[in-house]
Amino acid sequence: MKNRRISTMDAECRAERRGFLRMVAAAAAGLAVGGCYGGPEPKGSPQAGNQPPPPPPPPGNRAPVWQTVPTITFTQGIPSNISIAGYASDPDGDALTISMNGLLPAGVTFDAANKRFVYDGVGAVGTASGIVLTADDGKP
């Protein structure tokens, strides 16, 4: 009898499980339909009139980008200039103003209008460190 009772319980458990699984499946289908349908779309929504969504707003101003500026070296007694214009760019295509902070060796100047360092050829041998170059596109 014990075996018969267990098998009856097994049959009852199986029937209960099937009923439970049907209930869970029905509830999941109801949730899926509810999640997909969600009711009528409000007037003016893209789905209501099959209109495409509005374009995203234009990106804000992006900061200028620097490439690494190599060590700048001049030969004593030979006037020359070295441009740094190609080391700074603006991803938005804005014109850049480049400024410099720091002390340069005698005979070397920074020509901001032309974005270059100029050596007059007369200055003595010297070095400078801590020079800071700043690129500005004039926009916040």
74-96 pLDDT per residue, tens: 999 999 999 999 999 999 999 99
- d(CA 3, CA 1) in angstroms, rounded, equals 5
- Give 140's pLDDT tier (boundaries 50, 70, 90): confident
Q: Do residues 83 and 114 make contact, with C-beta atoms less than 8 angstroms apart?
A: yes
- d(CA 88, CA 97) in angstroms, rounded, equals 10
What pLDDT shows up at residue 2?
Answer: 47
% of the chain at pLDDT higher than 90: 51
What pLDDT shows up at residue 36?
Answer: 44
Position with higher pLDDT, 37 vs 95 = 95
Residue where the block lists tokens 């699984």: 21
Return the closest-CA partner of residue 108 out of 79, 67, 86, 130.
79
What pLDDT shows up at residue 68?
Answer: 95
% of the chain at pLDDT higher than 70: 64
C-beta atoms surrounding 117 within 10 Å: 20
Q: Do residues 76 and 107 make contact, with C-beta atoms less than 8 angstroms apart?
A: no
What pLDDT shows up at residue 56?
Answer: 80
